[in-house]
Amino acid sequence: MTHTAFITGATSGFGLAAARRFVAAGWKVVATGRRAERLQALVEELGAANVHPAAFDVRDTAAMEAALAALPEGFAGIDVLVNNAGLALGTAPAQQASLDDWRTMIDTNITALVTLTHRLLPALVARKGAIVNVSSVAGVYPYPGGNVYGGTKAFVSQFSLNLRTDLHGTGVRVTTIEPGMAETEFTVVRTHGNQAASDALYRDASPMTAEDIAEQIHYVATLPPHLNINRLEIMPVSQSFAGFQVHRG
For the annotated catalytic residues, the residue numbers are: 149
Work out what residue 85 binds among ligand NDP, ligand 8X3, none; the CB cut-off runs from 5 to 8 Å by kind: ligand NDP
Work out what residue 211 binds among ligand 8X3, ligand NDP, none; the CB cut-off runs from 5 to 8 Å by kind: none
Residues 9 to 38 in contact with ligand NDP, rule: CB under 6 A: 9-15, 33-35
Q: What is the DSSP string of 103-155?
A: HHHIIIIIIIHHHHHHHHHHHHHHTT-EEEEE--GGGTS--TT-HHHHHHHHH
Binding mask 53-72 for ligand NDP (x = CB under 6 A): ----xxx-------------
Whether residue 218 contacts residue 232, with contact meaning beta carbons closer than 8 Å, is answered with no
Nearer to ligand NDP, 107 or 127 (CB): 107
The verdict on 84 binding ligand NDP (CB under 6 A) reads yes
Binding mask 116-155 for ligand 8X3 (x = CB under 6 A): --------------------xxx-----------------
Q: Where are the alpha helices (DSSP H) in 138-249?
A: 147-166, 186-190, 195-202, 210-221
* Distance from chain centroid for Cα 38: 17
Cα–Cα–Cα angle for 152, 155, 158, rounded to 5 degrees: 155
Distance, in Å, from the CA atom of 79 to the CA atom of 127, rounded to the nearest integer, reads 6
Nearer to ligand 8X3, 9 or 129 (CB): 9
Distance, in Å, from the CA atom of 133 to the CA atom of 112, rounded to the nearest integer, reads 12
Could you list the residues that contact ligand NDP (CB under 6 A)?
9-15, 33-35, 57-59, 84-88, 108, 134, 136, 179, 181-182, 184-186, 189, 210
Could you list the residues that contact ligand 8X3 (CB under 6 A)?
136-138, 180-181
